[in-house]
């Protein structure tokens, strides 16, 4: 696709997913045979340190400080990113919502730092509900409880809205709950909100009360073997997934990269391996963002009036989906390429 937008509609609104796995205490921190882990964040692995050191952010592996969050906000805002979609994790102790565990989860640290940042006014934010792998929200009562827990975020002046309604992105759309979503909508109304924009991330039919659709990422070759493939294949798979309708508008996804090898254990016989795409370039990434803009131009009835495009991701360092500046990209080439494309939309 070629960019044909000039002068058409609103300026696109680019959001980047934010994975907060770069704080807390590593599970191997006390292992004397693993000195790399002593001061490491939760999701750092030995393979990342030894085999993929280029993925280390320019500020270091840890991101759990107010200073670094403010630095990230400035970097993102300066390069055309309008909001972060922070991954959020449910904790269930088998009874009521475990609010203490939720607040203590280090994967929620940067969301709170964002809200405290002196420069947070430069960006918006929303939640990506990571409804998977032990963090599933099950049952209407739990969805209702989660929705009530989210109200302070949803009512925040910097929260992303779609059609005037706060946006919630749900990672595993298959496990959506129609009654739970209805209860969330009711609670939002009682709290003075005009309702919620609930977007399901998945390729299946979304019929559980979702109002919008998108994806977290699109990854061909998921856990079918360790094979090298091209970034062009990854881009094509993403573009094939762009869809929407007047009743359920879509937000196209651009997967900035996929290479999960740092998180794959070669010695584990139960490990399932993925394809990886090591040949990505800033120019290819930016071209895919441009194509997403063009797709929205050509399909205005299938997308949001806010013209939202989602990027996977700001800092999925373990999975190779990152555009934040790293030691392998100290000149911020991915961000500069994104800014150049977004600036064309002014």
How confident is the model over 294-312, as pLDDT tens digits?
999 999 999 999 999 999 9
CB-CB neighbours of 207 under 10 Å: 11
Q: Considering the domain boundaries, does residue 7 fall inside one?
A: no
Greater model confidence, 41 or 11: 41
pLDDT, one tens digit per residue, over 47-100 is 999 999 999 999 999 999 999 999 999 999 999 999 999 999 998 755 556 777
Nearest-5° angle of CA 146, CA 252, CA 273? 80
Q: What pLDDT does residue 7 have?
A: 46
User: Tell me, what's the pLDDT at 5?
Assistant: 44
Ramachandran region, residue 163 (left: φ > 0; alpha: ψ -120 to 50; beta: rest): left
CB of 317 within 8 A of CB of 55? yes
Q: Is residue 2 part of a domain?
A: no
Q: What is the pLDDT of residues 194-225, one digit of tens each?
A: 999 999 998 776 788 999 999 999 999 999 99
Percentage above 70 pLDDT, the chain: 95
pLDDT over 70 (residue 8): no
The whole-chain average pLDDT of the chain stands at: 94
Instruction: Say if 123 falls within a structural domain.
Output: yes
| 100 lies in some domain | yes
Residues 112-151: pLDDT tens digits?
Answer: 999 999 999 999 999 999 988 888 898 999 999 999 999 9
Question: Domain tally for the chain?
Answer: 1
Q: Which residues of 112-140 are buried (b: 16+ CB within 10 A; e: fewer)?
A: ebbeebeebebbbbbbbbbbeeebbbeeb
Torsion of CA 72, 311, 196, 125, to 10 degrees: 0
**CATH number where 335 lies:** 3.20.20.80
Let me know: does 89 contact 108? Beta carbons within 8 Å: yes
- Do 307 and 299 touch, CB atoms closer than 8 A? no
Would residue 6 count as lying in a domain?
A: no
pTM here is 0.95
* Kind of pairing between the strands at 165-170 and 161-162: antiparallel
Tell me the three state secondary structure of residue 315. Answer: strand
pLDDT on residue 3: 44
Residue 4 scores a pLDDT above 70: no
Say if 3 falls within a structural domain.
no
* pLDDT confidence of residue 241: 96
Domain with 271, as residue range(s), is 13-343
**Domain presence at residue 301:** yes
The reply to whether 8 falls in a domain is no
């Amino acid at each position: 696709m070629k960019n044909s937008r000039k002068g058409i509609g609103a300026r696109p609104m680019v959001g980047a997913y934010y994975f907060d796995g770069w704080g807390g205490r590593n599970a191997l921190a006390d292992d004397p045979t693993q000195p790399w882990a002593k001061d490491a964040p939760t999701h750092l692995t030995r393979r990342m340190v030894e085999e993929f050191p280029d993925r280390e952010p320019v500020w270091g592996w840890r991101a759990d400080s107010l200073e670094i969050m403010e630095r990230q906000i400035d970097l993102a805002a300066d390069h055309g990113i309008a909001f972060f979609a922070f991954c959020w994790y449910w904790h269930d102790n088998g009874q009521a919502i475990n609010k203490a565990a939720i607040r203590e989860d280090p994967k929620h640290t940067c969301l709170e730092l964002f809200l405290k940042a002196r420069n947070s006014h430069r960006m918006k934010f929303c939640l990506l509900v990571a409804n998977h792998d032990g963090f599933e929200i099950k049952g209407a009562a739990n969805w209702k409880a989660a929705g009530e827990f989210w109200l302070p975020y949803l009512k925040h002046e910097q929260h992303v809205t779609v059609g005037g309604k706060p946006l919630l992105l749900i990672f595993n759309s298959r496990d959506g709950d129609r009654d739970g979503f209805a209860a969330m909508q009711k609670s939002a109304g009682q709290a003075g909100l005009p309702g919620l924009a609930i977007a399901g991330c998945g390729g299946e039919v979304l019929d559980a009360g979702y109002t919008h659709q998108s994806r977290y990422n699109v990854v061909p070759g998921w856990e079918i073997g360790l094979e090298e493939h091209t970034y062009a294949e990854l881009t094509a798979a993403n573009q094939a997934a762009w869809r929407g309708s007047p009743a359920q508008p879509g937000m196209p996804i651009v997967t900035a990269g996929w290479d999960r090898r740092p998180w794959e254990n070669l010695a584990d016989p139960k490990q399932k391996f993925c394809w990886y795409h090591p040949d990505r370039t800033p120019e290819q990434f930016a071209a895919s963002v441009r194509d997403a803009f063009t797709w929205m131009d050509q399909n205005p009835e299938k997308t949001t009036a806010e013209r939202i495009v989602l990027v996977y991701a700001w800092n999925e360092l373990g999975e190779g989906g990152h555009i934040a500046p790293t030691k392998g990209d100290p000149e911020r080439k991915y961000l500069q390429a994104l800014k150049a494309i977004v600036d064309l939309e002014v």
